[in-house]
Structure 1
């Protein structure tokens, strides 16, 4: 069977422009889309997961496609369940400081004394016009071993020329943390059911209030979707599966329920009929506002999915921007972003990280370096076995904290002291006190880190001069599974849809219940864990997953504005793109897991930002806010260049 030319073009688009297959291989790929009812984009996501499970980048050829077929079949037949959805969230203001005087009147606005002048503007659209460009999405294929280190892969906004910084004696950076570190000092593994239920209810009720606030002129009739009604109502609730022990891989439009809050519907759940919708993208844990009716009292017929209340955009005053421009001496800023693991999965070898640090000091000369964990990966074979053969015999550690101090601390101390370094932990970090999300920061004193290194929690929001950055080191792109019906209103790009969900839900990780990492060869029923399983069932679990600390999920909220830059590390395809005026970056893994101890492929990112020019008329620089004399949109997406390099 000869496949159509359009299918071959789509293969090239999703699997990389250099993909050249034989006719039989195209036929095999086409048959996989038919057998498993996946489009090519979803199939590529599965292919990336398959590569990750195999521990190496496989060529797209017939032998590997047959193995891929077996992998998909086993994945479909095995029972892989997520934890029960009765694990939930707490006070949404738990991580918020008091508002500054110039902030908008929004109770959830994260703020600190260092950024008192920063405020947000509530607009009908979350950005000063959606910004789209032909190069706003990378279509890079998986990194191959033939790539040399520090080879440029792709560039976002290549029209902005790369520049060198001349002022190297003083770092012209003001770093402002947009969180309260004391809120992350909670004790883990102490979730209480009523506290979790209060948080989940509050998420629904808060979203309903925001919708009513932003639609005051409309005649809104909010009602209980669980009660019989012969006329259309508007309701707010959470998308949940039909059973706590559900298989996330085969969740479909027939297995979705709407969960109400105790205030709006006594916490009841009602099945959803989505047949009248032309298009939708739903996932478990999603807060939605629906219009429809329940004529029989047994099922809610959805007529329309209402648009969610939108966040504002960050702005700064003219005085602030002039101060930053003067501080930078009219020059731009450079930020390096990398995400672990930083060693091969078979041994603790940090030669690549040492080479990157050398390049940072001698060639790149950035103002800020953002390093996401894991630094000492719990899944590393030496860590798992407790035998550190990579270390000298006279430096054998007593514990994993010693491993960090012996290996990582000396490397970080080699970074030029004038460069500001930010460390964010991962749930796979062996030296983090918190094994759940949201996650407390590293202990800077314990690891003897120098003063130029800041330790931030995961997730966190912070500002580098005027640039507001949001960073969450938990793989939302892998964990969020959609029930999708495509139409013209939805982006055809899965990454774009997930990023839009983050903005709409106002949380870095909106999936509930969270993911659970399982060993692919394990066939045990993991759902038994929700009923208090015996120890032998734990054999099917692997280190990883989201491990959500629901009562403190308020710490994972975006606040009252979308960031200028959103950093979301993922093991899936590295990319940098612009969505709703936000520069979204997945730096990829610095070293991708591999079965071979010699293969160390990966990537990192360099962001170059032009200085703010308040007194010059330039459509690609800061932009004055309408009806405001002294406030300006940052327009980071117009004046930043993002380069992706091999590690």
Structure 2
């Protein structure tokens, strides 16, 4: 497939049709900046989200994209060909053994920080680790990072680390210590509550793959109506773009109208109660923005018992601070991280990464399913405060874990293919002691 056709396919996937002159401009920019069509489309999506644009690009907008985004690519770090990595590694190991005595008093240990990234294509491994410095500290200089001396490590691309070590030959850093935890900078006061608080949380998809009847959603709403929590948290997707019927386009109504009807039915099912409904958006919703962070849903009708939040989000219920993201960041990190710990609990280590990095999506580059706007991520994807409860729905099995005072919860998804999934029922008892000590969580199958 030639370059133009690849560009057409990428934009068609986003339901965007390019005019001939616009297509020619896209082809020119891809060639000029050596950008793959898929990456170019992702760059456009991030720009379009910031400009609140849902239409295909214009020539004027592409010029803005070039100035704001593509010209930055000229400053990116060069890649090391994969074929040279093994030989480079052998040479590096020899330099470490033969020249370690040169690293003593003449250079002494240094302390620096930066971001982990991969020096080539493929998955990160012990031979391809690099450290990208900050513009303020060392003008974004990139060095190879050797972590053979660091025990019990778990690293992934995009992870911000502090390194204590010694420089070798000017472009190799031999790490003696590696620090990744920034939780200590975030304060967490107990959530002072005078009355019991009950929260039910569920994540989509909310219907089975074989139909669009939303029977699991109705079963959930029946449970909620019977048990009467104070708050119901519903995390998207609501109309999953990967649903077999949706992906084929076998639906008679507009997606936005379908979504409006679905939200109306949720509101109506609980309108005779005092239950507040929190709805968190998802970029996997076929009718919504395909960018992360994802803005909240906007509906024509106003429902007084429903509040809408973006993905990710931090919000308060009385004094209780909750954080949530509908994107499966734990699964994405698990596919990329390098772990050398002899004993490590995966389901504690993965959510700890998110808290330690103080970021809802610290992986870079992102998973191919996620179109990240880094301008928005810096503004809306960071944790300014440590939440008392962090909701991370994932493909992994359900869990609830206390990680440095934060209860991290994976309620799974309400449906999994053609079978029912699970949801969470949380109760927080009154008091002033640490919130994790007063929280009880039940994971229930639908």
Please give the TM-score of this superposition, normalised by the length of structure 2: 0.75
Q: Which of the residues 167, 175, 188 maps onto 1:314?
A: 188
Work out the CA distance in 2 between the residues paired with 1:292 and 1:374. Answer: 45
Deviation at 1:385, TM superposition (A): 2.0
> CA shift at 1:576, angstroms?
1.2
Q: Which position in structure 2 is the counterpart of 1:350?
A: 214
Q: Structure 1 residues 352, 361: CA separation in 2 closer, same or farther (over 3 Å shift)?
A: same
Give distance in 2, aligned partners of 1:361 and 1:376: 23
The aligned residue for residue 415 of structure 2 is 591
Deviations 1:534-591 (A, max 9, x none): xxxxxxxxxxx121111111210010x3110000111221111111111111110100
Residue pair 1:507, 1:557 contacting (<8 A) in 2 also: yes
Unaligned runs of 5+ in 1: 1-81, 91-182, 201-228, 389-395, 517-544, 594-598, 613-621, 624-634
Q: Contact 1:184 / 1:457 at 8 angstroms: preserved in 2?
A: no
Map 1:84-483 onto structure 2 (within 5 A).
Answer: 186=52, 192-193=68-69, 230-243=107-120, 246-248=121-123, 251-306=124-179, 308-309=181-182, 310-315=184-189, 321=192, 324-325=193-194, 328=195, 332-362=196-226, 364-388=227-251, 396-397=252-253, 399-416=254-271, 417-432=273-288, 434-444=289-299, 446=300, 448-480=301-333, 481-483=336-338
| Partner SS for 1:404 | helix
The whole-number CA distance in structure 1 between the counterparts of 2:136 and 2:197 is 49
Deviates more, 1:577-586 or 1:185-194: 185-194
* Cα distance in 2, alignment partners of residues 196 and 409 from structure 1: 45
Question: How far did residue 356 of structure 1 move?
Answer: 1.5
Check 1:572–1:414 CA distance in 2 against 1; reply closer, same or farther (3 A cut).
Answer: same
**What is the rounded CA distance, in whole Å, between the counterparts of 1:591 and 1:307 in structure 2?**
35
Distance, in Å, in 1 between the alignment partners of 2:133 and 2:112 is 9
Q: CA deviation at 1:353?
A: 0.9
Note the 1:622-633 alignment, pairs <5 A.
622-623=432-433
- Whether contact under 8 Å (1:577, 1:585) holds in the other structure is yes
Contact 1:184/1:439, CA 8 A, preserved across alignment? no
Flag the 1:501–1:644 CA change in 2: closer, same or farther, 3 A.
same
Relative to structure 1, the CA distance from residue 307 to residue 255 in structure 2 (aligned partners, 3 Å threshold; closer, same or farther) is closer
**1:606 correspondence with 2:431:** no
Q: Which has the higher strand share?
A: 2
Distance 1:485 1:360, change over 3 A: same
**Consecutive unaligned residues in structure 2, runs of 5 or more:** 1-37, 58-63, 77-105
Answer yes or no: is the 8 Å Cα contact 1:441–1:458 preserved in 2.
yes
- Secondary structure of residue in 2 paired with 1:638: helix
CA gap of 1:196–1:450, structure 2 versus 1, over 3 A, is farther
- 1:557 has 2:382 as partner: yes
Instruction: Write the distance in 1 (CA, Å) between the matches of 2:131 and 2:279.
Output: 39
State how far apart, in whole Å, the 1-side matches of 2:204 and 2:50 are.
22
Contact 2:180–2:357 (CA under 8 A) maintained in structure 1: no
For residues 190-211 of structure 1, the C-alpha deviation after alignment (integer angstroms, 9 at most, x for no partner) is 86338979xx9xxxxxxxxxxx
Q: Is the 8 A contact 2:216 2:420 kept in 1?
A: no
Matches of 2:257 and 2:179, distance apart in 1: 53
If asked which structure has higher relative contact order (CA below 8 Å, sep 6+), I would say: 1
Contact 2:160 2:180 in 1 (8 A): no
Shift of 1:185: 7.8
CA–CA distance in 2 between the matches of 1:184 and 1:564?
Answer: 30
SS in 2 for 1:479: helix
- Residues 509 and 645 (structure 1), Cα distance of their counterparts in 2 relative to 1, 3 Å cut: same
Return closer, same or farther for 1:449/1:196 CA change in 2, 3 Å cut-off: farther
Instruction: Measure the CA separation in 2 of the matches of 1:83 and 1:483.
Output: 25
Question: How far apart, in 1, do the equivalents of 2:269 and 2:350 lie?
Answer: 37
Look up the match of 2:98: none
Q: Which aligned segments of 4 or more residues in structure 1 are displaced greater than 6 angstroms? A: 188-191, 194-197
Q: Are the counterparts in 2 of residues 377 and 429 from structure 1 also a CA contact under 8 Å?
A: yes
- Return the offset for 1:83: 5.7
Paired residues of 1:260 and 1:269 also in contact (CA < 8 A): yes
